[in-house]
Amino acid sequence: MEWRDQGVILSSRKYGEYDVILEVLTREHGRHAGIVKGGIGRRHRGNVQPGNEVTVTWRGRLETHLGTYSVELLRARSVAFLYNPAKLAALNSCCSLLCSAMAENEAHEILLDGLLAFLTELEAAKDQIDYWGPLLIRWELGLLTELGFGLNLDDCAATGSTENLIYVSPKSGHAVSCDAGEPYKDKMLKLPRFLTENGVEANIADIKEGLELMNFFIERHMLAPFNKKTPQARRMLMEHIL
């Protein structure tokens, strides 16, 4: 059987002496793997980097087989981040989370469109993390939501108030106001203002809080139930930025 689709390369790992196995987030076939013959050679090496936007043709005897890919490069997005280690770490973190959290062969067009939009914004943003860090955190929040684990950050879990939301309950994923959360503040997760208030600029402390908030729920809901650990690329991002 054979199909053709567009998507973004999530991972590329060596297979044998000359080939690579690609995982691609495709529009109609979801996260799907295939072998690229001669993928480590000069002809293909630049095309099969994580983050690149591609058209792939998959061929295999059965849908459950690994099969082979032929790859046409549409946009070499990874090149834009080669000389910015922090942005490259963000790209690798996003790709590794999708590999870890998504079921195979399950279409999620919203996740593909969200990833493409994030990479476009990341490429255009100024190099300082203050400018693109909030984009990354919102992308991770969108990932949680699309996979069924969205957080409720609109009002206070205890009072219903929409003012002074500065905590998130680790049990419910629901925002909590300053007054309601005060007695339990040592057990609460911090909620950065830029996630609840429009026009608020983020600083490094806000971004740290946002990454730690997302990491808590990503581990709890997306990874732990499948006995998976936080991907190395996500840990490297945290270490690099924080």
Dihedral of CA 184/190/194/196: which sign?
A: negative
Contact by Cβ (8 Å): 124, 196: no
Helices 109-124, 129-146: crossing angle, 10 deg rounding:
180
Contact by Cβ (8 Å): 107, 32: no
Contact by Cβ (8 Å): 209, 241: no
Predicted TM-score of the model (pTM): 0.92
Dihedral of CA 41/31/61/59: which sign?
A: negative
Place of tokens 């942005």: 87
Give me the helices (H) in the chain, please. 42-45, 85-101, 109-124, 129-146, 178-181, 204-217, 232-241
Domains of the chain: 2-75 (2.40.50.140), 79-153+191-241 (1.20.1440.120)
What is the chain's pLDDT, residue by residue, as a tens digit (242 residues)?
A: 899 999 999 999 999 889 999 999 999 999 999 999 988 887 788 889 999 999 999 998 877 778 999 999 999 988 888 888 999 999 999 999 999 999 999 999 999 999 999 999 999 988 888 889 999 999 999 999 999 999 999 999 999 999 999 999 999 999 999 999 999 999 999 999 999 988 788 899 999 999 999 999 999 999 999 999 899 999 998 887 76
